[in-house]
Structure 1
């Protein structure tokens, strides 16, 4: 895609503005993510459940397994996504598209935590798209969560490579349906969603002009980042407790948590210990 000089300057300004904004969120070796199958046109179905205001909900008939050409790979499920057309200038003028890549939560959470997109969409006349991650919210294969998580085989389709291919299919088909083939796409995410945005830009550069990854641990892998780095930071947080906007040290809190590990280890070593711990902590 070729832009005139003034357009390039505008997009450079856009990226600078976006990178200066932090997304609130809860909570390098090359990653071996396989190439996806060819992007196919699918049907977009309007949702029976609509969000209020300017948000329009759709369901896309998504491929369950993008990397398998056996008959079982033809299975599909309905993947939810939401579009806000309010500020969009249209495909005729190559107005941009901001795509929020869903993470490990229902789409409703994304809608509540990244409201800054509206401000920037108004400035750049952009379309806003939120895509729900497979296996979360209403984008669950096999008909229900119980069936989707029934065994390890079915849970195997819940992975980042499949999720990236999901996003690629929806974005490509949506741009075609909206006659927006020249509209640049910026993918956006936070934490795990930010990692997805980074990987999407690397794997599908023909679909995404740029990526905004906030609080994304893209280098948090073995032999790159010390394995205890995250826990060291959390330890410091528990040692420094904020009370009435005053920071105070809390060595007792730190020591209490530290002593709990020996108690847990003691329980786990008993024949009945794992069952007790599973019940207490409600593990799955």
Structure 2
């Protein structure tokens, strides 16, 4: 994990944010609408020529990770390199909302392509409040994009898609290769877990699958009730919800 050796034990001073950036709702249309894109920044170590480290918080409200600008391995790197660190929220998470209504239409802009262009737009237009130095544009200012898991994907793809403005990327545990039905994820458990535990898990999975694939609606309802999920009408939703709990 990116913050495995650091803890959030203090309230983040207001000088680090949050700040807001006017971000286009749709980068790929003629619509000029914008939304307030939330971020935090620490400029106190910056010296001319230093890099800007950008961490996109991914699929969570970024205030949970705002302390990374002062207390993280990324902050330590920014300090050593005399650079700036930014924690940036992902669109449609936290308070970075392109729309107040979550509908199929508005969520049409919740895409990887839009998220990547959000970061690129932020890099091109970066002006941090209360920071009087005009940063030279990339590539003169070196931008390093960090991320973990899904946001690690974004970091890797930023370097791949925008090499003219992204100097480097540090993707941690980033599953950049997409695979359908990736059963390999559970193979270490099956191979090396205690046999009695593995056998028990497999028995439960087979039992549940037998019910879900059956035509017996009452049996399915009783099963879902046992898991406190009788409100889930679709069997695949129930299976997905309990996929990692069994």
TM-score band by shorter chain is 0.7 to 0.9
- 1:260 aligns with 204
2:108 is the counterpart of 1:153: no
Count of aligned pairs: 214
Residue 213 of structure 1 aligns to a residue whose secondary structure is strand
Q: Does 1:206 align with 2:164?
A: yes
Contact 2:20 / 2:39 at 8 angstroms: preserved in 1?
A: yes
1:129 counterpart residue number: 86
Tell me whether 1:216 sits opposite 2:174 in the alignment: yes
Are 1:119 and 2:76 counterparts?
yes
Secondary structure of 2:95's counterpart equals coil
Cα deviation 1:46-97 (Å, max 9, x = unaligned): xxxx94275222111211111123xxx33322110110112111xxx22211
- Give the structure-1-normalised TM-score: 0.66
* 2:115 is the alignment partner of 1:163: yes
Distance 1:183 1:219, change over 3 A: same
Shift of 1:24: 5.0
Give the match's secondary structure for 2:134. Answer: coil
Deviations, residues 97-142 of structure 1 (Å, cap 9, x unaligned): 1111221111133345771112211111010011101111111222
Structure 2 gap segments, 5+ residues each: 5-10, 238-246
- 1:23 is matched with 2
Mark the CA change 1:251 to 1:111 in structure 2 (over 3 Å): closer, same or farther.
farther
Contact 1:54 1:86 in 2 (8 A): no
**Aligned mate of 1:63, from 20, 24, 38:** 24
The SS at the match of 1:74 is coil
Distance 1:154 1:261 in 2: 37
Q: Do residues 74 (structure 1) and 21 (structure 2) align?
A: no
SS of residue matched to 1:60: strand
Q: Give the stretch that moved more between structures: 273-282 or 191-200.
A: 273-282
Q: TM-score, normalised by structure 2?
A: 0.75
Q: Which residue of 1 aligns with 2:41?
A: 83
> Which runs of at least 4 in structure 1 moved beyond 4 Å after TM superposition?
175-178, 281-284
